[in-house]
Amino acid sequence: MKVSSTGFAFFYVLTTLKNSLIFSPLRLIHYFSSMVIVVMGVSGSGKSTIGRLLAEQLMLPFFDADDFHPVSNIEKMKSGQSLNDKDRAPWLKILADNIDHWLHDKGAVLACSALKNSYRSILGENNTYIYLQGSFELIYQRLQERSDHFMPESLLRSQFDTLEVPTAGYIISIADTVENIVNSALEEIKKHGH
């Protein structure tokens, strides 16, 4: 069978780089289907860090749900008050509208707490959820070391109380290095075809 020069070049690239994280076959997912990956969990679980790295590997745009909060919500959290469902309703609606746009565009990775099943229902059933799981003690310690976040440590317990662990999606422990967490997420997406 005669192989064209183009076919040979493509085969060579895949063979040479198939084990590279930078040129993973996962990156090719971007060319075949739009997807929105929601990296979820309580404050301090590493959603933004992991989400940005996943977006880079999958060549998708990254968004942080915190950037879509109304000012009133941010001020309420800064004052040490928990948000209720009424506070979250307009925020979730904004996110859902954006997710619908991203799904019909080129996809995205979104870092979002998405703590309740009802919140995830609003965000949409077609999303891929990656739950970053960690103990209260581990995350509390991390939050104490941070100075760049408007979520006071005192609200962490209320987030754990609100949290409903998703039954769909992937659960990944954060008691590991960032690199290993990202690799685990990528492997799950690859294994299940996102």
Q: What is the per-residue pLDDT across 161-171, written as a single tens digit (0 to 9) for each?
A: 999 999 989 99
Dihedral sign, Cα of residue 67, residue 75, residue 154, residue 96 = negative
The CATH number of 34-192 is which of 3.40.190.10, 3.40.50.1370, 3.40.50.300, 3.50.50.60?
A: 3.40.50.300
Lowest pLDDT segment from 8-12, 74-78, 95-99, 123-127: 8-12
**Burial of 25: CB neighbours in 10 Å, binned 0-12, 13-18, 19+:** exposed
C-alpha–C-alpha distance, residues 186 and 56, integer Å: 11
Residue 148: CB atoms within 10 A of its CB come to 4
Contacts of 115 (CB under 8 A, 6+ apart): 40, 42, 159, 162, 163, 164
pLDDT digits (tens, 9 = 90+) for 28-77: 454 435 789 999 999 899 999 999 999 999 999 999 999 999 999 989 88
Read off φ and ψ for residue 9, nearest 5 degrees: -60, -45
- Supply 138's token pair: 């581990």
Cα–Cα distance between 138 and 141 in angstroms, integer? 5
Task: Map residue 24 onto helix, strand or coil.
Answer: coil
Q: Residue 10: is its pLDDT beyond 80?
A: no
Question: pTM of the predicted model, to two decimals?
Answer: 0.80
